[in-house]
Chains A and B, each alone.
Chain A
């Protein structure tokens, strides 16, 4: 694990400010550590040598000053790190979200959307402890430890030697013990993993266990599995706790060694008490930051892992950007060409598409006459949704697409010629009206109501408020609202083509029949080429023609 990924500084400018501020604060904190030890030892030594409280007043005031400064610095450090974390997170989030939208749905299709959302949302929160605990401690260690050792060296070199000789033991042992822990863990990783999830497994499957009359006898199993989990985990902990043990042992032994050696040299008079006490107070401070970095190790590992996930997306986006920049000029020409509604036949010739050079569909030739209603059918996996995704430009395709004889580069998104409704409803929090009129240039309630009627969803109130992901609607209702959204866009932008992917998969037969009626009225009242991907016989039967994709076409 890298303690600090240089990409963090590259992608989040706020991180640089944070590091600079951290260095300044760390330096000031180090000064306080040395000052506190110095003034405290001076006051004690001078008092022992007979100075009165009045004579020592300036010295004690200075000590109080250092104490106040130390407290202030702790406060400032905390505030800076919280701010730093918040700023860096904001910057990274906004960059990564922009990157995700640039990479587009084609990239997302190969990934688990929820986990991408977790990475960009709550995942980045792991950076909180990374910034507020680990990094400041790391900076402080990098500054305080050498400075403190140097000060000890200037005062009493034998003590410094003792510290310098013991310090390296810590990282060496930490690494060795880290390896040993990993080995122990790896050996029983599978076992530990299944033991740790088995309680969840039993509780999660409680309904199933009850159905099969097995619930009651699981208590004993939970007990024995947890007991096994304890035995196995303790095996790992016995090794991994050694690292803490070494840290504490080395640092406290170093203090003991310094104390005894200073004590012995005081007895023979080769060292003054003021130096001895000063060095004794400083010696633990050389180890303290290092120990604290050790305890923040997990926070660091989580933070680095979270940042890694983000950098992966950002790197992918910058690689993709340089690859597509070459054909940016072509896009502009196409946007101009397909401006405004165009009503004509949609023709595909030699059309093939796939993901990552793996062909999924085609090459096929097909024609969809203007104003026709075509159902695309075929077994799962034959590439129906890929065909749609390629028309929308989510995945690359080869071959030609023409609309009314004009070539269309499917894939130039932002085009009005095609409107689409996918398999998932994909609704948002907000009113039904806001959902139906998504990205509308001039939201129109009458048109939204008409779209709902066409989608057989006229019983749903336009002003009804939906929760996140359209929560509050049943599956069938959500599907019809999303169809209405596509219909609205097709009406508003005079799209030549409307594509609906499995629009009736969540509908019962009655609703499906009403949807068919609605779509019929749409094709009758507007010149719109309707393409429906479906498995439902009733819907396919309602179409003018059926384009049946066979697995054979895939093999070609």
Chain B
């Protein structure tokens, strides 16, 4: 019989929290937060990736306007997934939210300044043309830096961080977080988002455009790069974090399935991309671009499942001297979680309906007229 509540990380000697079983509601909220972060990775992934690719795929001012237009109506809604994930973590597991946001203070602030910079850039780039170059750089950096740091943060949590007895981070600010495995995770995350961005641009840019041709060529390169980085992160995981995967746990098995899913995603994306050259027949191009985008999104899905499976039942494993923060030790009260579950039952279906409406409104490839209109 599989043990549900012991972690595949058990072999690694983390300091255990008081031994408690998580309640079903706490487990549900662990999964809901996973879903919210998944929504963020999938949706904001393509627009962060777009920003990080922006200087490389858009050369002329018109091309730049069209690339910005492809995310213009959508990025704000996408970012709300991050705020919801953060809000839900605060609500359901306040100690984990407090420890991670204060422990990763400078990194969190870098993400924050990045997000502010890109919001300003997307908004003001076309309204304040005298600062065009400056806002182009802000859009690029404000996208690339958060795209990299999200993975670094996740890697640090998976590897475990030093916590004191109050549950506060006890390591060095910022530099203490720049360890090999988390950095590799950061690169996997960045590369995945670049792939999502290139796939989105292939889907949204006009058929015959130079931007689409560049994006199509790039998505092949990025796919291979992502696979290589994932392999590197896996090797580092076994070398530096945990030498074994405990198949006696549910999490261990799920982690293996998720890793396999990642590889399946890479193969599916490879197949969907055809010969790797931009198709010119509209029908072929559309099916290729849609399928490539869908396949590329198997990667973030598998990465989130992999992370959740590896972490559970911990939220932030501690390497000492204080105890780890776990789903059970950090979980909110049953009443608070019940209220939140009711709110989620009302809210999540509505949110999905809004998404269908808005994405349908802006379906199809971007046109030049549209991009230059605003």
A, B assembled together: no
